[in-house]
Structure 1
């Protein structure tokens, strides 16, 4: 739909959108492609940090529903000044974008809850924004260790209450895809009379 280098160039702030964010190696593009069933929807790369724009994808043009691919953070080999500008944009976007219904935060299950992951959660929480954490690449671990990591992450998220939830996800096998789709249905398809009524799916 559109690629915007700055928030001022984003589409009109109306309708409903869900943003995807995560470290540059967390598998964000692969997750979006698996979700949409289009392997060419979001560009993937062996070089982390290629997503340096805010990319908007139209889900339903008539109803104004969008998926938003936010710039990756962490391992991207870009100047510090650029990273800092990304962070300022991300914080402002999460706290001021009125059409934003929820944040999908992706973390490699082998390296969850980095400092900047926690910063993203805090920004969203301050704005009352629901967050669904995807522990990606779950296929890289056996079932026992994967579940153990999930439980550990959920315990660390207790202070945030029901607005922040976590699940396992594998773009390769499709694990957790149905749970993610159900959450997106809640965020994108439900019309809320009051933003305070926004709650994550059970």
Structure 2
């Protein structure tokens, strides 16, 4: 029987903490498929991860933004399938040298990690496209890395204003081919969760080495 037919369905509820890494050489073996989550420290990244995985304790949430200082890996119920929580950027009260160190190792991960299938950029729908957000979009465009944007905290706005914000984001990014998904998201109401899970599944289950087969 074709092994692909017996492969278990990917379940985000199965996510479990695997390992934390401060440097690239501490990361799990560069094999399989993983999708990383990035965002400013107050954008709701941890809450989004917890909602997508239906595990309120998976990623640490804090009233003090910027607590995530390591690259955190979470395993799924498929061999070598992982979600990755990248260090939050912006509000952490640490030294400039430590921030520079984070950025260096984060850059190495994004550039050298071969099993990285895509990046989820989490941004506050009320304050989208900050300098950090634009930097990450441009980086993905330059490096041909598929990008999903989660416009979080949609429950904080009336639907009309939320829709207007989404249209503004879409217009600003219309020439960026890397943007494959733009999703209105709320960890509180659950808006966008299933759409996000489906997009993640498509990335994680895509055949390996598609380019090399051409």
Displacement, 1:162?
5.2
Q: How does 1:174-189 map to 2 (within 5 A)?
A: 174-189=190-205
Distance 1:114 1:196, change over 3 A: farther
Could you tell me which residue of structure 2 aligns to residue 70 of structure 1?
86
Could you tell me which residue of structure 2 aligns to residue 10 of structure 1?
27
3-state SS of paired residue (1:43):
coil
Distance 1:97 1:141, change over 3 A: same
Q: Say whether 1:51 aligns with 2:68.
A: yes
Residues 90-132 of structure 1 show CA distances to partners (whole Å, capped at 9, x for unaligned) of 2222222100001000001111111111111122222211010
TM-score, normalised via structure 2 length? 0.87
Runs of 4 or more above 6 Å deviation: none
Distance 1:173 1:92, change over 3 A: same
Does the CA-based 8 Å contact 2:122-2:149 persist in structure 1? Answer: yes
**In 1, distance between residues paired with 2:211 and 2:155?**
36
Q: How does 1:42-191 map to 2 (within 5 A)?
A: 42-60=59-77, 62-161=78-177, 163-191=179-207
Gaps of 5+ in 1: 198-202
| RMSD of aligned residue pairs (Cα, Å) | 1.5
3-state SS of paired residue (1:2):
strand
3-state SS of paired residue (2:164):
helix
3-state SS of paired residue (1:161):
coil
Distance 1:125 1:91, change over 3 A: farther
Gaps of 5+ in 2: 1-17
Q: How does 1:10-49 map to 2 (within 5 A)?
A: 10-49=27-66
**In 1, distance between residues paired with 2:180 and 2:94?**
30
Count of residue correspondences: 196
Could you tell me which residue of structure 2 aligns to residue 200 of structure 1?
none
Does the CA-based 8 Å contact 1:139-1:172 persist in structure 2? Answer: yes
Distance 1:181 1:12, change over 3 A: same
Distance 1:146 1:164, change over 3 A: same
* Bigger radius of gyration among the two: 2
Displacement, 1:85?
1.9
Distance 1:164 1:115, change over 3 A: farther
Does the CA-based 8 Å contact 1:91-1:123 persist in structure 2? Answer: no
